[in-house]
Amino acid sequence: MLLIIASVPTDAICVNIRNGIERYEIYHDALEGKRVGIVANHTSMVKEQHSVDFLRDKGVNLVRVFSPEHGFRGEAEAGRLTGDYTDAESRLEVISLYGKKKKPTAEDLKGIDLMIFDIQDVGVRFYTYISTLHYVMEACAENGIPLVVMDRPNPNAFYVDGPVLQKSYVSFVGMHPVPVVYGMTIGEYALMINGEGWLNGKRRCRLTVIPCENWKREEAVSLPQKPSPNLPDSVSVILYPSVCFFEGTVVNEGRGTMTPFQVFGHPDLKNMSYSYTPRSIKGMSESPKCEGQLCYGMDLRKEYHSVRERKKINLAWLLLAYRNYEGKESFFTPFFDQLAGNDLLRKAILSGESEEEIRNSWQSGLQAFREIRIKYLLYR
């Protein structure tokens, strides 16, 4: 069963927006007579109907489904491996692209004439759907299969911020030299991957992007489905770029609560009045950090508007937690540098640099990225 996002701020409104998949009238000719594969999950919806059913009702010959992290139905916890299987509802074979295999093989693509990618992204570098996009584009390029990306609004498209990833820190949570928040839809991002030659061997995918209709980049977006188990509402989605840094520390980032990425805390954070106890929550956070321990920290649920107004990642929360943590040598984990995309942010915090000094160190990289980004923007 698909869950509808709750607790949406009153300004997070989408009016008359049509996602790419809904604009069947402008792409149906490309699907005529084709055997089609689709990369999809629980966010692949046309109003109350799944994109798979929407296309089948139009007579499209869907032959195979490919699913990213969290699975086709969006029920897998972050990091949990899923295997290939036959979907009980659609009776289609589902190929998992998370775990041992992140890239479709030639065998997986056998019998497919065209691929569709239709997944709701949240516009953050370490959110792995864009990594899945990269590998799908690469496989399509290698096997001569056209790819159609059905675009959807990005709720974090209204700003660009954060450290730019360095090549030596490439991983599945960061594959490209982009900042943490890159301000592009997944369709625009696909155009950038192609145009900048980021695919293996600088190959180019035969790419078509079907844009959204009636959407503006600055527009607040309310997502009708939660994009993953621990992004349950618009508040989590907007705070995620700032709070996710805690995943590379000993501090709990709200997993194990019904407000993930909206609170943070740890038993050894001092001088902080807010408290909560993480618990194992089936389907969301099983065995979260600091499980069963009283954690002290901050409740950030009222900060949605401040992030939208400032158009910046909030580093103050991370710096405050580091200052108030006892036993600073164990604060960071190796995963932190992967999230940051370099070791510079961690070293700057260890050396006591201010938020302003850290931000200044990002500016040349951000300016260079903006000059690349502007070539691929579809929504001015």
pLDDT of residue 11: 46
Confidence band, pLDDT 50/70/90 cuts, at residue 231: very high
| CA torsion through residues 148, 150, 153, 154, sign | negative
Tokens coding 244: 């996710």
Instruction: Check whether 150 has a pLDDT greater than 80.
Output: yes
Q: Give the strand pairing for 179-181 and 147-150.
A: unpaired
What confidence tens digit (pLDDT) does each residue in 281-329 have? 998 998 999 999 999 999 999 999 999 999 999 999 999 999 999 888 8
Q: Which strand (E) or helix (H) includes residue 265? A: strand 263-266
Report the C-alpha gap between 87 and 97 in whole angstroms.
15
Are 179 and 123 within 8 A, CB to CB? Answer: no
What confidence tens digit (pLDDT) does each residue in 36-94 have? 999 999 999 999 999 999 999 999 999 999 998 766 764 544 444 456 767 777 789 99
Q: 279 Cβ partners below 8 Å, 6+ apart?
A: 256, 257, 288, 291, 292
pLDDT of residue 99: 80
Centroid of chain to Cα 259: 18
Q: What is the pTM of this model?
A: 0.93
Are 12 and 221 within 8 A, CB to CB? Answer: yes
Instruction: Check whether 195 has a pLDDT greater than 80.
Output: yes
Q: Which of 325, 324, 305, 303 is nearest to 259 (CA)?
A: 303
Confidence band, pLDDT 50/70/90 cuts, at residue 267: very high
Residue with tokens 């000993």: 250
Confidence band, pLDDT 50/70/90 cuts, at residue 380: confident
pLDDT of residue 2: 31
Are 179 and 164 within 8 A, CB to CB? Answer: yes
In the chain, what are the domains?
20-219 (3.40.50.12170), 234-342 (no CATH)
Are 143 and 201 within 8 A, CB to CB? Answer: no
Tokens coding 61: 């010959």
Q: Which amino acid is at 323?
A: R
pLDDT of residue 81: 47
The mean pLDDT value for 244-267 works out to 98
pLDDT of residue 79: 42
| Per-chain mean pLDDT for the chain | 92
pLDDT of residue 6: 38
